[in-house]
Copies of this chain bind each other. A is one copy, B any other.
Amino acid sequence: MRMDIADRVSRQSKSPLYEQLYQLLRSRISAGDLKPGDLLPSETELVEQYQVSRATVRQAMDGLVSDGLIVRRQGQGTFVSPHNVDQGLVRIVSFTEDMQGRGLEPSTKLRSAELIPATEALASFLEVPIGEPLARIERLRLADGEPMSVEMAYLVHRYCPKVLEEDYTSQSLRKMLEEKYGLRISSAQQSIRAVSATIELANALSVQKSAALLSIERISYTEFNVPIEYLLLYHRGDRYRLSGELRG
């Protein structure tokens, strides 16, 4: 599982030291090198190991704490969070990842993929002129063979000109954007609400008309805060739930 993660930080890199250290520790946790409940090296040890100041170590760990991945205990040390933190409310999680975390087998059916001109609303979300060509990809997501969600993605076509020729059913859209076009999604703004299923959505999801759906609207941004995707998700209310931990 461990990839080519160098176990050091570089002062020549364009990304800050604390960010490098954050990513490094994050990798060690997600790779299983550090397991839930494990004690992390102490701050002093990390200072020595990576040759950075304690403030930098703490800044890196702050990120992991706010991700819920680690907890600090004064006098004891810093530990990998004991429970598998459900991160759907804090991190961008792929459908595949999400379903696997729930112990379900994900699959995908393509419903449509086409080029459309940006409406006023879409243009405003994606910060492009009205009429700008957008790739619209609509997919049905299934879990254990049963419909779970309908997903509509709107991408700025100019940034990923051959996106409509790709295969969306077997590979992650996000991974494809990163590998083929160098578009890395680094943050997103989302809004969650409950809506009643339209007839079309009800049919697609195999539920009754007006069944309650959990609707998520999401705008994803690159590291330079350029919006590249507008996503509309409709999850079956009877099957899907979002969980997370709150701070006091």
Contacts and interface: CB of A to CB of B under 8 A. Distances in A.
B247 A187 contact: yes
Nearest to A85: B189
Given A66-B66, A196-B211, A248-B186, A243 B191 contact: yes
Contacts of A188: 245-246, 248
A243 B189 contact: yes
Question: Which has the most chain B C-beta neighbours within 10 Å: A191, A192, A193?
Answer: A193
Q: Oligomeric state, in number of copies?
A: 2
Contacts of A245: 187-190
Interface size class of chain A, counting residues whose CB lies under 8 Å from the partner chain: 35 or more
B89 A240 contact: no
A153 interface: no
Interface stretch (A105-113, A119-127, A163-171, A212-220): A212-220
A135 to B, nearest CB: 20
Contacts of A240: 193
A248 B187 contact: yes
A157 interface: no
B214 A193 contact: yes
Interface of A: 55, 62, 66-67, 89-92, 184-196, 210-215, 218, 220, 235, 237, 240-248
